[in-house]
């Protein structure tokens, strides 16, 4: 594999190899889908309705869509953290944001001690 000298200089100087006009936000769709499916199934079981969720959801396996949780330690206690919980339990002032707006606007920051 050969690259030209201008490209090699760009890499050595730490410059990017491409430019974009947009900032992209990573988004884990499967985590949100699995949460919706779990909630849907729980409501269906609670209401004992005959809605054929298997047909609607194309027989999605809940185990394959399990949400990954990161364990963090705060004040000596272990706390599970997930992107889905950030959206589900967001402050009341953000309750009018839909999922797309939430993903585009929210930013995680470490709290200072």
pLDDT of 70 strictly over 80: no
Q: How far is CA 84 from CA 69, 74, 103, in A?
A: 9, 19, 10
Beta bridge partners of 81: 70
Distance from C-alpha of 17 to C-alpha of 6, rounded to nearest angstrom: 10
Q: Percent of the chain, pLDDT > 90?
A: 2
Whole-prediction pTM value? 0.49
Most confidently predicted of 21-30, 56-65, 88-97: 88-97
Over residues 34-50, the mean pLDDT reads: 70
pLDDT at 57 (0 to 100) = 52
* Per-residue DSSP letter, 57: T
Distance from C-alpha of 39 to C-alpha of 3, rounded to nearest angstrom: 52
Distance from C-alpha of 113 to C-alpha of 111, rounded to nearest angstrom: 6
Confidence of residue 26 (pLDDT cuts 50, 70, 90): confident
pLDDT of 96 strictly over 60: yes
């Amino acid at each position: 594999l050969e690259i030209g000298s201008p490209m090699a200089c760009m890499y050595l100087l730490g410059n990017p190899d491409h430019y974009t006009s947009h900032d992209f936000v990573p988004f884990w769709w499967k985590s949100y889908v699995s949460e919706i499916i779990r909630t849907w199934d729980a409501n269906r079981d609670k209401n004992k309705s005959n809605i054929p969720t298997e047909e609607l959801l194309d027989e999605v396996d809940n185990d394959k869509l399990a949400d990954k949780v990161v364990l963090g330690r705060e004040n000596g206690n272990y706390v599970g953290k997930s992107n889905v919980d950030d959206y589900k339990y967001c402050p009341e002032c953000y309750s009018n944001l839909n999922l797309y707006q939430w993903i585009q606007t929210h930013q995680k920051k470490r709290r200072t001690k």
